[in-house]
Amino acid sequence: MNATDRTPADLLRSALTADPARPLVTFYDDATGERVELSVATFANWVAKTANLLQGDLAAQPGDRAALLLPAHWQTAVWLLACSSTGVIADLGGDPAAADLVVTGPDTLEEARACRGERVALSLRPLGARFPEPPPGFADYAVEVPGQGDSFAPFAPVDPDGPALAFRGDGELTAAQAVERAAADALTREYTPVSRVLSGLAYDSWDGVSAGLLAPLAAGGSVVLCRHLDRLPAETLEQRLESERVTATAG
C-alpha cells in the first residue's frame, strides 16, 4: 500500500507495481475440490477485463449500483475491484430491484430477475467455466469477459469520497473509507507483506471482505479464500494451513 492509495483499485495497482508475480488470491471450493491460484498480475488482468465489461458493454457509470448476489469466491473478489475501478457501488447482497445492474451466481437467478437493468450471471463452476445452457435474460460472464481488453482506463476519474461498498442492512463505505479501514485492520491484525490469510468468511459483511481480500491486499500479503470450509475435516484443514503456509486465519 502507498500513501496515495485512496480506493481499493489503487491498492491493486500498488500491488501490481510492487510484485506482479506473487500470489494474491488462492481459492478453494471444498464442495467441488476446486483450487485456483491467481498472481497479482493474473488477478489484475481479470479485474481490467471485468471493468471494461462494466464500463463498455454494460454501460455502467460512476455512482451506479451493482447488486452482487455472490458468495466468497475469486470471481467475486474480481467484481469488487472492477466496481472500484469504475466507480460503481458494489452492493453485496443488495436488493436487485433497487440496483442499476445485478451480478448473480446460479443459486440466486430468480431473485436477480427483479433487476430492471443489466443482468450478468456467473456459473461459479471450476476454472470459470460458462453455463452449460445460458440462463434466459442474463449475460453469461464466462462468455462475455474473455474478449474484453487487458488494460483499463475509466472514462472519468473515480471519486475516492463517493460510495463504493454497501452491505445489506449494514450501511455504506466510500472508497477512501474502505481503504482506511482495510489498512487499520491490517495493522491491528499485524499483517505484513509475507502474511498469508486463510478466510472462510462470507462476502456479506465488512469483516468478510476485509479478511478475505482488502486487509491482506493493503498489507501487501495474500489470501487463501475458502468456500464451504465447514465441509473440510480438521485433519485436512491442518494440512492446508501447512501446505499454503498460512500465517493467520479468519472464520
Distance CA 163, CA 233 (A): 40
> Within its chain, how far is the Cα of 69 from the centroid?
12
What's the chain look like in SS3?
Answer: CCCCCCCHHHHHHHHHHHCCCCEEEEEEECCCCEEEEEEHHHHHHHHHHHHHHHHHHCCCCCCCEEEEECCCCHHHHHHHHHHHHHCCEEEECCCHHHCCEEEECHHHHHHHCCCCCEEEECCCCHHHCCCCCCCCCCEEHHHHCCCCCCCCCCCCCCCCCCEEEEECCCCEEEHHHHHHHHHHHHHHCCCCCCCEEEECCCCCCHHHHHHHHHHHHHHCCEEEEEECHHHCCHHHHHHHHHHCCCCEEEC
Distance CA 95, CA 246 (A): 35
> pLDDT value at position 120?
98
Give, for all 251 residues of the chain, the pLDDT tens digit.
787 999 999 999 999 999 999 999 999 999 999 999 999 999 999 999 999 999 999 999 999 999 999 999 999 999 999 999 999 999 999 999 999 999 999 999 999 999 999 999 999 999 889 999 989 999 999 999 999 999 999 999 999 999 999 998 678 999 999 999 999 999 999 999 999 999 999 999 999 999 999 999 999 999 999 999 999 999 999 999 999 999 999 97
Query: pTM here?
Result: 0.97
Class of CATH domain 8-250: alpha beta
Distance CA 251, CA 212 (A): 10
**β-bridge pairing 34-39 and 196-199:** unpaired
Instruction: Report phi then psi at 136, rounded to 5.
Output: -55, 130
Domain ranges of the chain: 8-250
